[in-house]
Amino acid sequence: MKFLLNIFVFTIPFLLSTAFGEEAATTVQAVVQKPYVDFGNTAWVLMSAALVMMMTAPALGLFYGGLVKRKNVLSILMQSFVTLAVVSLLWVAFGYSLAFGPGHGVLAGFIGSFDWAFLKGVGMDPSPYFISQATARIPHSTFMIFQCMFAVITPALIIGAFAERMKFSSFLIFTVLWSVFVYAPIAHMVWSSDGWLFKMGALDFAGGTVVHINAGIAALIAAILLGKRKNQKPTPPHNLVFTLIGAAMLWFGWFGFNAGSALAADGLASSAFVVTNTAAAAAALMWALIDWLITKKPTMFGAATGAVAGLVAITPASGFVDVFGAMIIGAGVSIICYFFVVVVKEFFKYDDALDAFGVHGIGGIWGAVATGLFASPLIQSSYKGLFFGNPGQLKIQLIAVGVTIVYSGIVTFIIFKGIDLVLGLRVSEKEEALGLDISQHNERAYTLVE
CA distance 268 to 138: 16
Interior/surface letters 350-381, b for 16+ CB within 10 angstroms, e for the rest:
bbbbbbbbbbbbbbbbbbbbbbbbbbbeebbe
Beta carbons of 351 and 229 less than 8 angstroms apart: yes
What separation in angstroms does the CA of 46 have from each of 106, 139, 172, 275? 34, 10, 28, 21
Q: What is the pLDDT of residue 120?
A: 96
Q: What is the pLDDT of residue 33?
A: 54
Q: At what angle do helices 168-178 and 140-162 cross, to 10 degrees?
A: 140
Q: What is the pLDDT of residue 2?
A: 46
Beta carbons of 315 and 207 less than 8 angstroms apart: yes
For 112, the 3-state DSSP assignment is coil
Cβ contacts of 154 within 8 Å, gap of 6 or more: 179, 183, 207, 210, 211, 214, 215
CA distance 440 to 76: 11
pLDDT by residue, tens only, the chain of 450 residues = 444 444 444 444 444 444 444 444 444 444 445 678 999 999 999 999 999 999 999 999 999 999 999 999 999 999 999 999 999 999 999 999 999 999 999 999 999 999 999 999 999 999 877 657 677 799 999 999 999 999 999 999 999 999 999 999 999 999 999 999 999 999 999 999 999 999 999 999 999 999 999 999 999 999 999 999 987 776 789 999 999 999 999 999 999 999 999 999 999 999 999 999 999 999 999 999 999 999 999 999 999 999 999 999 999 999 999 999 999 999 999 999 999 999 999 999 999 999 999 999 999 999 999 999 999 999 999 999 999 999 999 999 999 999 999 999 999 999 999 999 999 999 999 999 999 999 999 999 998 654
Q: What is the pLDDT of residue 133?
A: 66
Q: What is the pLDDT of residue 447?
A: 80
Beta carbons of 208 and 363 less than 8 angstroms apart: no
Domains and CATH numbers, the chain: 2-32 (no CATH), 39-441 (1.10.3430.10)
Compute the half-sphere exposure of residue 281: CA atoms within 13 Å on the CB side of its CA. 10
Interior/surface letters 213-242, b for 16+ CB within 10 angstroms, e for the rest:
bbbbbbbbbbbbbbeebeeeeeeebbbeeb
